A = this chain, B = another copy of it.
Amino acid sequence: MMNEKLLKLLTGVQNGTVSVESAMKSFGGLAYEDLHHTKVDHGRKIRKGLQEVVFGEGKTLGQISDIVTSMSANGDEVLATRIDASLGEALCRSFPLGRYDDLSRCFMVMKKKRRITGKGIVLVVSAGTSDIPVAEEAYVTSVFFGNRTEKLYDVGVAGIHRLLGNMEVVKKARVIIVAAGMEGALPSVVAGMVGVPVIGVPTSVGYGASFGGLTAMLAMLNSCSTVSVFNIDNGFGAAYYATLINRL
């Protein structure tokens, strides 16, 4: 905020021509709760229109429990990703309303009924069977954030007729997430066929020169068909981003 604007704003407050409420709003969406190890970003719902989600990797059970408690107290639902099975069970014991899904490795405390807020269908596609865990993280996240969400799995380029035979499903979608490992070619092929945004999620599926997904990621970044790319195995990020698009 430049000096002149700030000066005008503060002078306005001093003069009474700008109310404190209105001035506050210029700085809005800045609330958080300080758990010391974590500063829970309750303001994100205001700033971004989507609540915070817990990234579980590298956090202890105690830390996650504190955060879940804080979010619940704030009236939020909870989605925690990258939760190992044993951690998931422990969370289910602590939070009986929660549920753990071991395919997507997500822990959730959700209201029964999803309110559909997305305008169209988010389609989650996987190239192979082994990419399903990443695809499911995207699927669960997309559902959590109120999108009608569909799946189409194991339609990679080695047998492209499996994709061609499902073009109806593909053509209905408003946003498409494609999870693919190995050579990561599927997002390019899909994006060449549709006119909606395609989000590529490279997966760590592969061996040798796949370098844990690096090859798939680089391939997507070099796509000749205009694909946006997320980090390796980042099903959550892709679905969060699909949500940002699907509510436009």
| Residues of A bordering B, CB below 8 Å | 1-3, 5-7, 10-11, 13-14, 16, 20, 23-24, 27, 29-32, 36-39, 41, 43-44, 47-50, 55, 57-59, 63, 82, 119-120, 127-130, 132, 153-162, 164-167, 174, 182-185, 188-189, 191-197, 199, 202, 204-226, 228-234, 237, 240-241, 244-245, 248
What is the bound-complex CA distance between A25 and B193, given in angstroms?
Answer: 14
Residue from A43, A120, A158, A174 with most neighbouring chain B CB atoms (10 Å): A158
Contact A221 B226 (CB under 8 A): no
Contacts of A224 in B (CB 8 A): 127-128, 156-158, 182-183
B residues near A63, Cβ cutoff 8 Å: 129
Query: Can you tell how many copies of this chain the complex includes?
Result: 8
Q: A157-B224, A207-B232 are in contact. List 4 more A-B contacts (CB 8 A).
A: A2-B165, A158-B225, A195-B244, A219-B219
Instruction: Give 9 nearest A-B pairs by CB, closest first.
Output: A208-B232, A58-B130, A185-B185, A228-B228, A2-B165, A30-B161, A48-B195, A49-B195, A215-B218
Given the known inter-chain contacts A27-B6, A37-B153, A195-B244, please indicate yes or no for A209 contacting B221, CB distance below 8 A.
yes
Q: Hey, which chain B residues are within 8 Å of A2, CB to CB?
A: 30-32, 161, 165-166
